[in-house]
Amino acid sequence: MKNPREPGFLQSLACFGGVILIVILGLFWLEINLHVLLVIGLIWVAGHASYLGFQFTLIKSAMSAGIGKGLGAIYIFILIGVLIAALIEGGTVGGLIYYGVDLLHPAIFLPAGLILCSLMSLATGTAWGTIGTIGVVLMGLGNALGIPLPLVAGMVVSGASFGDKMSPVSDTTNLAAMSAETDLYAHIRCMLYTTVPAYIIALFLFTTVGLEYADQALSVQQLNELKEYLAIEFSIGPVTLLPLVVLLVLGIRRVPAEPSMLASIATAIALALTTQGRGITEVLNSLQEGYTSNTGLEQLDVLLTRGGIQSMMWTLSLALIALSLGGLLDRSGFVRVLLQGMLSRIKRSATLVATTIGSGVIANMSMGEGYLSIIFGGQIFKDSYEADGLERHMLSRCLEEGATLSTSLIPWTTSGAFCMGALGISPFTFAPWAFFNYINPLLSILLAYMGFGIFRKKTSEA
């Protein structure tokens, strides 16, 4: 059997551009379901691969390999659905809302929420854990305070992404440093030059926007009604916050995400059985189907009726299709050839920075997984940074600014699909409000063209 041919630049451009065109026209013009569009895109790419000489068995193998690389994310999907249901059953979500409504005034809700999500994500190193716990609670509080949910979701994703990008215990932070073959803390120090200014700008914007809702505070009667219904539904007390404490402590101690979430789930189930008066059958079934709230207060029922493994199935199926598409694009070489064609035209260090960041977005759109995009970018750009005399932590910084920060804004990536499942808001809807996620890469490119934040290797004197 003959080996498949390497694609040319024009065919790679047509193949990848066709996938993007299918998604854009299908979503915004024909309003076709995203799952169906990705299947059509998969058939389109398979046709191009077949033209290059890929047999069906090799195409199927490439798709399976793509799914295999994303299995870690799939495990997290399932656990997050279970965790959300368990936290509601144990009264953790209800307790946070009960105490949070009194503490968070609409005027400071957005900046305070941003800082809270940033700190939790920094401590635990997981954006998904932050979004699936504190993020869910902040969505409920924001809704109760009359703040638009897309704006709240943008704030949650911004804060979670900041911590995920900067935390030394974050998997993406470590992966970017590893892919660029640089020291972890050199990588983090390099990111400070662009991340801190971007974060300050985002914090200012959320503060400014938040002031527009300063007069939308709930009346005392509404607050009392909300707390009254929560107190009827749950036994509220400081002990209900214990599952979050467990999650936070284990994250700080660098325990992997899966065992940390399982420990938090077990704690929440114990609380549900001992303090909330739930039955074992009721609690365990809710881990599959989700918690169903019947308080009679509509806004509270909408918030609390969620979670469970089934709630993540839409997300999981989308991720499986996207990962299979990414695996085929990767194996057939279309994205690699496309980026290498761009590299041959780069003459300036700033342009290399911009191309690296842009390629992270392109890789996320094609492969559907931020981890793959970081690894892929490290392989493609490593020699170019070396030839230009740039420090390796410059590469790792750009990998994060492109891949890590854009992945939650694209609905068919594993992270974008997760955000949609956990927050109930499409990335297309909250992306304009995720200030930090796009200010950081744009600011990095701007500063590079101004000559700031460009780190070159020191040459030894003769």
Q: Is the pLDDT of residue 179 over 80?
A: no
Q: Is the pLDDT of residue 164 over 70?
A: yes
Task: Band the pLDDT of 462: cuts 50, 70, 90.
Answer: very low
Query: CA 216, CA 396: separation in Å to the nearest integer?
Result: 43
Angle between helices 349-367 and 9-28 (to 10 degrees): 60
Q: Is the pLDDT of residue 237 over 90?
A: no
Pairwise pLDDT comparison (52 vs 255), residue with the higher score: 52
As a residue count, the chain comes to 462
SS3 386: helix
Cβ neighbours around 17 below 10 Å, total: 11
pLDDT of residue 137: 78
Query: CA 298, CA 300: separation in Å to the nearest integer?
Result: 5
Q: Residues 36, 87: contact at Cβ < 8 Å?
A: no
Query: CA 350, CA 248: separation in Å to the nearest integer?
Result: 39
Query: CA 209, CA 106: separation in Å to the nearest integer?
Result: 10
Query: CA 432, CA 422: separation in Å to the nearest integer?
Result: 18
Q: Is the pLDDT of residue 219 over 60?
A: no
Question: In sequence order, which residues have a C-beta less than 8 Å from that of residue 265 and are 6 or more positions away?
Answer: 79, 82, 83, 86, 243, 287
Query: CA 68, CA 116: separation in Å to the nearest integer?
Result: 34
Q: Is the pLDDT of residue 256 over 90?
A: no
Q: Is the pLDDT of residue 460 over 50?
A: no
**Burial 80-91, CB ≥16 within 10 A → b, else e:** bbbbbbbbbbbb
Q: Residues 134, 92: contact at Cβ < 8 Å?
A: no
Average pLDDT, the chain: 82
For residues 448, 450, 454 and 459, what is the CA-based torsion angle, rounded to 10 degrees? 140
pLDDT, tens digit, for every residue of 330-356?
A: 788 887 787 776 766 777 888 888 889
Q: Residues 282, 85: contact at Cβ < 8 Å?
A: no
Query: CA 291, CA 244: separation in Å to the nearest integer?
Result: 18
Task: Band the pLDDT of 101: cuts 50, 70, 90.
Answer: low
pLDDT of residue 202: 95
Closest CA to 179 of 41, 352, 356, 341: 356
pLDDT, tens digit, for every residue of 192-203?
A: 899 999 999 999
Task: Band the pLDDT of 220: cuts 50, 70, 90.
Answer: low
pLDDT, tens digit, for every residue of 400-425?
A: 999 889 989 988 787 888 888 888 88
Q: Residues 362, 428: contact at Cβ < 8 Å?
A: no
pLDDT, tens digit, for every residue of 107-155?
A: 788 998 898 888 777 766 678 778 877 788 788 778 877 788 999 999 9
Percent above pLDDT 90 for the chain: 17
pLDDT of residue 166: 85
Question: In sequence order, which residues have a C-beta less than 8 Å from that of residue 231 and are 6 or more positions away?
Answer: 98
Question: In sequence order, which residues have a C-beta less than 8 Å from that of residue 448 and are 6 or more positions away?
Answer: 349, 350, 353, 354, 454
Question: In sequence order, which residues have a C-beta less than 8 Å from that of residue 179 and are 6 or more positions away?
Answer: 374, 375, 377, 378, 379, 396, 399
**How many Å from the N-terminal Cα to the C-terminal Cα in the chain?**
55
Task: Band the pLDDT of 168: cuts 50, 70, 90.
Answer: low
SS3 390: strand
The helix (run of H) or strand (run of E) holding residue 15 is: helix 9-28
Query: CA 197, CA 435: separation in Å to the nearest integer?
Result: 12
Closest CA to 241 of 358, 107, 94: 94
| Lowest mean pLDDT across 51-60, 278-287, 342-351 | 342-351
